[in-house]
Amino acid sequence: MRVALIGLPNCGKTALFNRLTGSRQKVANYPGVTVERKEGAFADTKGARYQLLDLPGLYSFKPTTLDEAITRDVALGRLAGEARPELLVLVADATHLSLSLRLALEARRLGLPMILAINRSDIAKRRGFQIDLSALSRELGIPVVETVATRPGGADALVRVLEQRGWSDAVSLAWQEPTADDVIAAHREVARLLQAAHHQEPKRSSTVAVADRVLLHPFFGMLSLAAILFLVFQAVFSWASGPMDMIDAGVARVGEVLATHLPEGALRSLLIDGVIAGLGSVVIFLPQILILFAFILVLEDSGYLPRAAYLLDRLMGSVGLSGRAFIPLLSSFACAIPGIMATRTIPSIRDRIATIMVAPLMTCSARLPVYALLIAAFIPDRDVGIFNLQGLVLFALYFAGILSALLVAYVVKRWQGVSDQHLLMLELPDYQWPNPLNLLVGLYDRARIFLQRVGGIILAMVVLLWFLSTYPAPPAGATAPAIEYSFAGYIGKALAVVLEPIGFNWQIAIALVPGLAAREIAVGALGTVYALSGSEEAITGALASTIAAEWSLATALALLAWYVFAPQCLATLAVVKRETGGWRHPLIMATYLFALAYVAAFLTYRLTLMLMGA
């Protein structure tokens, strides 16, 4: 049976989805659009199976964002290629029930059977919430249950209703978009329903009120936001080092075992110089990526993110972006692709385009391996006051990306001319403790996606690169390392002509090409290139010490500056094309990013040389 969860944003819908389906989830996109489609499966105690769809949150069935339009179209069975759900579960938030109930009244006209799940009832009850479930159910004419998605077994009441087929068929009505008068009438009806069900509204949490007095304060709020972001970057470096050392040692061990057991030849070189050196240098960054994601998930789950959007709305407004752009842009720190998809919650098309155009300037996690490698190789690991110097440099790189995003957004908005009516109207949900299940499911997803990339595209590119770097074999009597005579050697040296003014050598030039497919491949590619150049350390995984010995500081800094802009990510450009419906924006994006990267690397290289010479 196909069941869909609908509800307001932040009603705990996704937590309920995770509670019901656990890790049996499939994340994809709706056909033809890039709104994330989350589907999972579960069975009741009698063994009946359910396909559960987590629809994007919405305030109304008269959509103002693309996310909301998707939910409406799926619920009406109007989205081509998506089967209409047979049953809706409307997830309501007990801590502010009336908005959810208004949505339920609108949803009733969709002509689908529905169950109302009043979620977060535990928190609400602690604050004096009361409701007569059977009275509400009678008044609404649909089953009403309480759920606590954050607690094991918290969805049992819902599953019981499913098991007993405890809903009645919906009255089939012709769908009509609700008018403003309908909305007002629905609010009045909700007030009546709540009174009939002896609803006792929960008191406002005093903890939330006190926390907001600080966290939404113009000065202390901003200070807290800066502190939180800073903590994230420090943690990415200091907490990850233990697990990274372990992965490093593991990779080195595998390399050694293979080296002692495999006979000399092409297979040995492919496995050790290609696969182990290439993949090993990427896999090592898994702990850092997971720590970054853990922070983003915790901030999201705790209800803090919209508050950050509130704090930054003015600042972002000054360059023409909406505070709503903050959440897509923060997601872009993980990866620009989900970030660009998340811009679908921005109602104004101009704001959306501007946000999409700057999303790749947010330092995505695929750049983290490159930053981390270069920082570890060139920036001394020492404390400056209470801060770690490496963490400071990382913070500066992220900051450079943000600053340039603001500048680019300003230019884009100036260029677009007139601005639309702005809409912030962002809900600030009550704070809550992050739910460990959500966190685990989210991290598991991230780890899986990362390792799939490692095993898929990155492996393929690394093998291809090994091939290009190994053949043709050097002529007899050659003195330089074999790679210099290979295809890759020639390609790299040809590219190096263009890249030489910004301080890149031919090894970097080779690594930048497969980096087009995924930025972090550049690291794997450097691993392979240096391994084939005969560097013992690169083979054992210690790429950092190899490049520390081979490159000048100016080259390393120039490469860091290049990666702040790093135009090379084909997947991002493809999503931009799909989202903006043409080649225009992706082409502009690729051009401006490439130009900025080149200029930034050039200036960094030359300035460093000048300062070092002085």
Partner 1 sequence: MNENLSPSLRPLSALPLGERSVVEAITESAVLSRRLLEIGCIEGAAVEVVAVMWPGHDPLAVRIGGSTFALRRQEADLVMVR
The contact set with partner 1 (CB under 8 A) reads: 59-60, 62, 64, 95-99, 102, 180, 183-184, 187, 201-202, 204, 209, 212-213, 216-219, 221, 306-307, 309-311, 313-314, 323, 347, 421-430
Task: Write down the least CB distance from residue 98 to partner 1, Å.
Answer: 6
Do 601 and 558 meet the contact criterion of CB atoms below 8 Å apart?
A: yes
Q: Which is nearer to partner 1, 122 or 201 (CB)?
A: 201
Residue 187 C-beta: closest distance to partner 1, Å = 5
What phi-psi label fits residue 143: left (phi over 0), alpha (psi between -120 and 50 degrees) or beta? beta
Shorter beta-carbon distance to partner 1: residue 22 or 317: 317
Cα dihedral 570, 573, 574, 578 in deg (nearest 10): 180
The nearest distance, CB 215 to partner 1, in angstroms, is 9
DSSP H helices, 454-501, are 459-470, 487-499
Radius of gyration over every alpha carbon of the chain, rounded to an integer in angstroms: 27
Question: CB of residue 99 vs partner 1: minimum separation in angstroms?
Answer: 6
Residue with structure tokens 């005093």?
Answer: 206
Residue 307 vs 352, nearer CB to partner 1: 307
Residue 552: count other Cβ atoms within 10 Å of its Cβ: 15
Quote the Cα angle for 357-285-277, to 5°: 110
Minimum distance between the CB of residue 70 and partner 1, rounded to whole angstroms? 18
| Residues present in the chain in total | 614
Does residue 159 contact residue 149 with C-beta atoms inside 8 Å?
no
> What is the DSSP secondary structure assignment for residue 558, as one 8-state letter?
H
How many whole angstroms separate alpha carbon 272 and alpha carbon 246? 19
- Between residues 319 and 542, which has the closer beta carbon with respect to partner 1? 319
Q: Nearest 5 degrees, angle CA 560-CA 561-CA 563?
A: 65
Which is closer to partner 1, CB of 172 or CB of 206?
206
Question: Do 540 and 297 touch, CB atoms closer than 8 A?
Answer: no
| Minimal distance, residue 302 CB to partner 1, in Å | 15
Q: How far is the CB of 71 from partner 1 (least distance, A)?
A: 14
Residue placing its CB nearer to partner 1 in the complex, 422 or 578: 422
Q: Which is nearer to partner 1, 306 or 434 (CB)?
A: 306
Closest contact distance (angstroms) between CB of 180 and partner 1 is 6
Biggest CA pair distance of the chain: 94
Is the Cβ of residue 248 or residue 301 nearer to partner 1 in the bound state?
A: 301
Smallest distance from the beta carbon of 428 to partner 1, in angstroms? 4
Question: Cβ closer to partner 1: 325 or 508?
Answer: 325
Smallest gap, in angstroms, from Cβ of residue 327 to partner 1? 12
Closest C-alpha among 450, 472, 475, 465 to residue 531: 465
Cα dihedral 436→441→446→452 (10° resolution):
150
Tracing tokens 């006209």 back to the chain, one arrives at 109
Residue number with CB closer to partner 1 (292 or 311): 311
The answer to whether 162 and 189 are in contact (CB under 8 A) is no
CB 9, min distance to partner 1, A: 11
We find the least distance from the C-beta atom of residue 120 to partner 1, in angstroms, to be 12
Which CB, 93 or 484, lies closer to partner 1? Answer: 93
CB of residue 81 to partner 1, shortest distance in Å = 29
Shortest distance in whole angstroms from residue 209 CB to partner 1? 7
Contact 302, 294 (CB under 8 A): no
Q: What CA–CA distances, in Å, run from 552 to 99, 343, 377, 557?
A: 60, 40, 11, 9
CB of 421 to partner 1, least distance (A): 6
Nearer to partner 1 among residue 345 and residue 528 (C-beta): 345
Report the candidate in 299, 307, 288, 274 with the shortest Cα–Cα distance to residue 364.
288
CA-CA distance, 127 to 96, in Å (whole number)? 12
- Closer of 165 and 217 to partner 1 (Cβ): 217
Q: Which is nearer to partner 1, 209 or 246 (CB)?
A: 209
Distances (CA, A) of 114 to 19, 90, 91, 346, 443: 19, 7, 10, 29, 32
Cβ contacts of 453 within 8 Å, gap of 6 or more: 518
What is the SS3 assignment for 154?
coil
Q: Annotate 381-400 with b (16+ C-beta within 10 A) or e (fewer).
A: eeeeeeebbbbbbbbebbeb
What separation in angstroms does the CA of 105 have from each of 13, 141, 379? 18, 11, 60
CB of 169 or CB of 181, closer to partner 1:
181
* Cβ–Cβ < 8 Å for 603, 557: no
Write out the two tokens for 77.
Answer: 């069975």
